C-alpha cells in the first residue's frame, strides 16, 4: 500500500482496522527551499538530524513503535535490493520473507 496512490476510501478502511490500536504518530517536515549550500548537498546528514530529532521523543517501550521501525528497516532492505542491486541487508533477513513478488518488472 502506498499513500500517494491509494484512494481515500481505502485509507479510511485501513484506519478503521488500526484505530483501536494504541499508537502515536511522529512527524518532522522540512522546508527544503530554506536549506543552503552544503546542507542541501549533504542529504544524509539532514536525514540523520531529523531522525534523531524525532527519535528523541519516541517511547521505545511502545510495541507499535518497535514494529514500525522494524518494518521500515526491512522495507529499506527490499528497496536497496531492487533499486541499487545492494543485497547486503536483504540477505541477512531473507529467510524471514514469507512473500516477495516483483510486480511489473
- Phi and psi for 101 in degrees, rounded to 5? -145, 130
Total-model pTM: 0.49
Half-sphere exposure of 23 (CA within 13 A, CB side): 15
Q: What are 91's three cell numbers?
A: 540477505
Confidence of residue 55 (pLDDT cuts 50, 70, 90): confident
Confidence of residue 105 (pLDDT cuts 50, 70, 90): low
Compute CA distances 15 → 8, 11, 22, 40, 45, whole Å: 10, 6, 12, 35, 33
Amino acid at each position: 500500500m502506498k499513500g500517494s496512490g491509494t484512494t481515500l476510501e481505502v485509507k479510511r478502511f485501513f484506519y478503521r482496522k488500526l484505530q483501536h490500536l494504541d499508537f502515536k504518530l511522529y512527524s518532522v517536515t522540512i522546508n527544503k527551499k530554506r536549506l543552503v549550500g552544503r546542507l542541501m548537498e549533504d542529504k544524509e546528514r539532514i536525514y540523520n538530524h531529523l531522525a534523531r530529532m524525532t527519535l528523541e521523543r519516541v517511547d521505545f517501550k511502545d510495541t507499535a513503535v518497535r514494529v514500525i521501525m522494524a518494518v521500515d528497516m526491512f522495507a529499506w532492505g527490499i528497496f536497496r535490493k531492487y533499486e541499487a542491486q545492494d543485497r547486503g541487508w536483504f540477505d541477512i533477513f531473507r529467510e524471514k520473507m514469507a512473500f516477495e513478488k516483483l510486480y511489473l518488472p
